[in-house]
Chains A and B, each alone.
Chain A
Amino acid sequence: ILNVEQSPQSLHVQEGDSTNFTCSFPSSNFYALHWYRWETAKSPEALFVMTLNGDEKKKGRISATLNTKEGYSYLYIKGSQPEDSATYLCASLTGTASKLTFGTGTRLQVTL
C-alpha cells in the first residue's frame, strides 16, 4: 500500500522566520514527487515536480530537495511572509501510474 506522509500537520511561524516541512513516500517504483501550494478557495498551485535523486529546485524563497533512495523530500521557505500562509501538499507518482497519491498536507500560518 502506497502511503505518503507529511509533517508537521500544522506550523505557526513569525514573519521572517525560515521553516521547512517533510514529505515521506515509499521509495520503490518511484517516478516523481510533486509539491503543491493550496490556499483556501483557490486551485492547488504546482510548485515543483521532482524526479531525480539529489534534485534540488528553487522558486524565489521556496526550495525543495529530494532523496529517492530513502523516500523523503524537504520543502524550505526562507524568510516566511504572511502570503506564504497556505497548505503545502506533496504527492507521489509511482511506476507507470499517473494518479497522484497525496500526503495529509502541512498547514502553514505566518503572522506579523
Chain B
Amino acid sequence: EPEVTQTPSHQVTQMGQEVILRCVPISNHLYFYWYRQILGQKVEFLVSFYNNEISEKSEIFDDQFSVERPDGSNFTLKIRSTKLEDSAMYFCASRGLAVYSYNEQFFGPGTRLTVL
C-alpha cells in the first residue's frame, strides 16, 4: 500500500542552524501539506502546496520557513534559522483530488526536530 515517508525520523540541531525536513508523498497525489505538533499541544497546520506554489499558510509559517518540491517526488520544509520554539514533531501529508477522496490526507510518520 502506498505511503508517505519522511526523513530523518529525528533531527537534533543547534539554535540558529538551518534544517531541511524531507518528505516523499504518495506518487499520484497533487496536494501537499506540512503540520507540526509541539509536545503537549494540538497538531497545527503550517502550509499547503499545490501546482508548485503555496496555496495556504498559517501565521506560524513566517519568513524563516519555506517549502519546495525540487523534483517529481520530494517535498521539503526548510527552516532557515531554527529557534528553540521550533522543536516539535513535523508531519508531512498528501492527498489526491477532492472529488475522489473528500480531502482525505495521508500522513507520514513525522520528523521529531529538537533545537538545542
Residues in chain A within 8 A of chain B (CB atoms): 4, 31-32, 34, 36, 41-44, 46, 49, 51, 89, 91, 93, 97-105
- A89 to B43, Cβ gap below 8 A? yes
A101 to B45, CA, bound (A): 7
By a CB distance below 8 angstroms, the chain A residues around B109 are 41-43
Report the minimum CB–CB distance from A65 to chain B (whole Å).
17
Given A44-B91, A100-B45, check contact A49 B104 (CB 8 Å): yes
Residue of B nearest to A3 (CB): B42
* A99, B45: Cβ atoms closer than 8 Å: yes
Closest to B41 in A: A104
Closest to B93 in A: A100
Taken together as a complex, chains A and B put the C-alpha atoms of A36 and B109 apart, in Å, by 13
Beta-carbon contact of A34 and B104 below 8 Å: yes
How far, in whole Å, are A43 and B91 apart by their CA atoms in the complex? 9
Complex contact A31–B107 (CB within 8 A): no
Question: A36 CA to B42 CA in the complex, in Å?
Answer: 13
Once bound together, how far apart are the Cα atoms of A62 and B103, in whole Å? 21
Report chain B residues within 8 Å CB of A103. Answer: 42
How far does the alpha carbon of A98 sit from the alpha carbon of B101 in the complex, in Å? 12
Q: How many Å from the CB of A33 to the closest CB on chain B?
A: 10
Q: Which residue of B lies closest to A93 (CB)?
A: B103
Q: Name the distance in Å between A86's Cβ and chain B's nearest Cβ.
A: 14
Q: Is the CB of B56 within 8 A of A99?
A: yes
The 4 closest A-B pairs by CB, nearest first: A102-B43, A99-B45, A44-B107, A49-B102
- Cross-chain pairs A/B with CB under 8 angstroms, 5 sampled: A46-B104, A46-B105, A100-B43, A103-B42, A104-B41
B3 near A43: Cβ-Cβ < 8 Å:
yes
Say whether B103 contacts A98, CB under 8 Å.
yes
B40 to chain A, nearest CB (A): 9
Assembled-state Cα–Cα distance A31/B4 (Å)? 24
Contact with A along B76-116 (1 / 0, CB 8 A): 00000000000000010001001001111111111000000
Please give me the residue from chain B that is nearest to A49 by CB atom: B102
Please, which residues of chain B bring their CB within 8 A of the CB of A105? 42-43
